[in-house]
A and B are shown apart, each in its own frame.
Chain A
Amino acid sequence: MVIQYKCPDCGADLFYDAETQKMKCGSCGYTNDITATNDKNGRIDPAALNDNVHEINGDFEDFQEQSTFTTFNSNDAVHYVCRNCGAELITSPEVTATTCSYCDAPMVLGDRLSGCMAPALVVPFTISKQQADEAFTKWRKRGKVTPTEFQQASRVKSLTGMYVPFWLYDANGRGEGHFHATKKRSYRSGDYRITETKHYDVYRKVSINYDKIPVDASKKMPDAMMDNLEPFDYKDLHNFAPAYLSGYISEKYDFTDTELFPRLQQRTNRYTQNFLMSTIKGYSSVTATGTHYETRKRNSYYTLMPVWMFAYQYKGKEYMYVMNGQTGVVVGKPPISVPKVLLRFSVFTIICFLILYIITYFGGTIS
């Protein structure tokens, strides 16, 4: 099933406009709110969203592992026909939204977004293609150690707006640890410096709830890059509607929430440890003697996040950059210019040296 939105006035294709956050007609300028075009395809269990259970005082085990939708991968249908031109669309199985390769009309593959495959939430694009291009150019120029050529020449091979599948987890983190801590006091007595060290056995057990930690579920997007796109602003987190995808490319998740849970755990355990350590205060030294952290999932939401993808050609190599389609943060390793690095290093070193030298020159000799 292909969903294509048509302008009620002129019949042209409607697509999602990032700037106005409305459906817009490219021909006559007609706009329409998303809610109006929402075909209620993306349903969400309101109870799951309003899960305000404060179970932080010991009934952790009672948490029910619950995904908003159970997930499976059974859709092998790859045969779609463009309603505009009748051309046959050949897509890879994970694509859920694309444009017709012949007439460029936005196509949303509705059957891949329904049932268990329906995303629960979406953060729509707020940065348009033009804005993304400008921001990327700006970012390239801001680089302090990137080659001048990279900064100046615009060699963007392709710029694609894509909704990347994420799992947003609600989770509870628990942590406990035994520590050996010391308090040091030093004072002078006659010709001696006396250091008094008090030793303590410290134990902490903490609980902390996390809200919608994103973990990308796309095989093709590098995890590190996706992590670095964070944070997304959840004030724009909407219930999913296929209309948001009109005009963009979208894919369905490659990993289920259960498969991605270990990646979540890495993060939450780190966060929990961070919190646990922050509760140990007033000591001169703290050494862990035994710690244990664990994370339980409370809920997970299949969510689409907006990402601008740049393919940039520089010196025969293709660099890939991604931009957070909501906040404009650019992620990706730019080429590094060795002469620029050396110049920066030299200038900085000379300035530091001059400052130090002036200090010692006027401040008398050090040695």
Chain B
Amino acid sequence: MKKYLLSFLVLITLLICPSLVVSANVTTKDRLNDDAKLFSWGESSDIKDKLKELSELYDADIIVATTKDPALPEVDLEDLELGEINLEQASLKETATEEPDIDEPVVEERKPQFSKSKRVMDYAALFTKEEFKDIAKQVNALSKQYKLDIVVITTNDILGDGSYADFDASLERFHDENGYDRDSVFLGINMDPDNREVIVQAYGKSQKYIPDEVAYNITESMVSDLKAQKYAKATNTFIKRANNRLSILLEPFERKLPKIEKGDYLIDDAHILTNEQKQIYLNKLFKKNENHDIDLYVITLDEFDSYSSLSGYVDTLADENGLNDNVGILAILLGDAHREVVMAGYGEKNTRSYLTDARCQNITDSLTDDLAAAKYTDALDTYLSQAGMYVTMKELPVPLSVILTELFISAMLGVIYVCILIYNASAHSKATRHTYQEPGSAQVLARIDNYTHTTVTKTKIESSSSSGSRSHSSHGRSRVGGGGHSHGGSRHSSGRSRF
């Protein structure tokens, strides 16, 4: 029984990843090396025939080896994960000409024809065995988790015969031609001595989470390590940050924010408050929230790659936690690169009358100074009083200043009306020039219209800007520091740094 199981395993190994099959002493003529003595003579020759047939068919040596060395199967199983999807494509595309070491990455100098099964390709040989294994492990795990491909490619030239305009384009084509997932994230390290660069690309829906400026930030954060030739460390930075970004996409609350229960009014992930302060503000929020329908929340974050989607992040957060009615969330992002504060209100009634866009903007506007000066408790006090006031006071559909202006105008009209009434209380002469003018007698005796000169004035026209609004959720957003923006239209987002 055990014998058959093992043979089945080896056969599978053969079929799936022929190039990785390992033998101690294998020649091209002898493709079966049955060190473990698993097969009978008849079986052996049968297998040999089939191997020969396959090898000739694919113009590649397909080798089966069995061994009693206990370490080997573990390694096999680990690497088998690399490609468990497309057997046919894999076997067709494989062109291994020499016996590869199980731990070594495939290194090719030819124009690449990669298997989809591979997510780490170290053509520039930047990683040690252990590093390679570690990176491959992480990348595979993440790819599986997010159901997309995270790919790391290093190269000495720009992947091929120079027919590509730049590294960016060649990576894009590489992505297209090798059947990677639509939503892949690529890291490319080009070690071409003339043009050393690092690129992060995001495709499909990953773009949303790794927009251009985020990709750029990732590459920037890698540059120093790359310069110091700490390639693995740099790659790990990429993986960590890509993970951070993508985790928002799929499991936003597992990573940063635990499930928000009713009463978790203060979540201080940026650790801006001492435990004592935290308790004080939590109590204050409790007291405030007890007194009215709208619950106010405060969330602080330190790790967040995109300021541009902080409000989107807050939206998702609120949505996932069912905080979509009568809720106001203040999110303070205190990242290294981006500092931002977002105030969001949820619930139709709430956003229409209480935490409206304008009010949310007022809140963030009044907080930015304190936040920039790191006076977090002051900022929270301001938030509590201001938002606390807003949630108890319905916003007038028309601003008070406008109402007062209208009242003033109305009163003026009223005064004019009354004056006219009083004036008209007694009759006034309706006689005019025309009443007494003798018909036809009005004559112009002289008429001169002399043009003298022209004067010209120039004034600069001030352009005005407009802003849109959203329904059902209101936002105010202020940037505390850092900047940049994502642009649409591209089918992938990317950032690139030279080092």
Contacts and interface: CB of A to CB of B under 8 A. Distances in A.
A, B bound: yes
Contact of A145 (B401, B422, B427): B422
A356 B410 contact: yes
Contacts of A200: 449-452
Contacts of A360: 398, 402, 406
A177 B169 CA distance: 81
B397 interface: yes
5 contacts: A204-B447, A208-B437, A211-B438, A228-B428, A228-B429
- Which secondary structure characterizes the binding site on chain B? mixed
A211 B437 contact: yes
Interface stretch (A11-19, A89-97, A306-314, A328-336): A328-336
Contacts of B399: 365, 367
A96 to B, nearest CB: 26
B29 interface: no
B461 A188 contact: yes
Interface residues of B, number: 52
A255 to B, nearest CB: 20
A275 interface: yes
Interface stretch (B51-59, B125-133, B413-421, B487-495): B413-421
Interface string B155-177: 00000000000000000000000
A349 B410 contact: yes
A155 interface: no
A57 B443 contact: yes
Nearest to A208: B442
B68 interface: no
Interface of B: 397-399, 401-403, 406-407, 409-411, 413-415, 417-418, 421-422, 425-433, 435-438, 441-461
A144 B436 contact: no
Given A205-B445, A367-B399, A199 B413 contact: no
A143 B401 CA distance: 37
Contacts of B398: 357, 360-361, 365-366
Interface of A: 54, 56-58, 143-146, 176, 181, 188, 191-213, 227-231, 270-271, 274-275, 279, 329-334, 336, 341, 344-346, 348-350, 352-353, 356-357, 360-361, 365-367
Given A188-B461, A210-B438, 15 more contacts: A56-B443, A145-B425, A146-B425, A181-B449, A191-B461, A193-B460, A196-B454, A201-B452, A208-B441, A211-B437, A231-B435, A341-B418, A348-B414, A356-B410, A360-B398
Given A194-B456, A353-B406, A367-B402, A206 B444 contact: yes
B414 A346 contact: yes
A209 B445 CA distance: 13
A192 B437 contact: no
A330 B436 CA distance: 21
A197 B460 contact: no
A357 B444 CA distance: 51
Contacts of A207: 441-443, 445
B415 A345 contact: yes
Given A353-B406, A361-B398, A367-B401, A56 B457 contact: no
Given A349-B413, A360-B402, A144 B445 contact: no
Contacts of B431: 227, 230-231
B437 A352 contact: no
B427 A331 contact: yes
Given A191-B461, A196-B454, A334-B425, A206 B442 contact: yes
A366 B402 contact: yes
A341 B399 CA distance: 30
Contacts of B428: 228
Contacts of A349: 407, 410-411, 413-414
Contact of B427 (A202, A329, A352): A329
A195 B459 contact: yes
Contact of B446 (A193, A204, A230, A353): A204
B451 A198 contact: yes
Contacts of A211: 436-438
A333 B426 contact: yes
Contacts of A229: 429
A353 B402 CA distance: 11
B426 A205 contact: no
Nearest to B402: A366
Contacts of A348: 413-414, 417-418
B433 A333 contact: no
B457 A195 contact: yes
A352 B401 contact: no
A361 B352 CA distance: 13
B418 A345 contact: yes
A319 to B, nearest CB: 11
B78 to A, nearest CB: 63
Contacts of B401: 367
Contacts of B403: 357
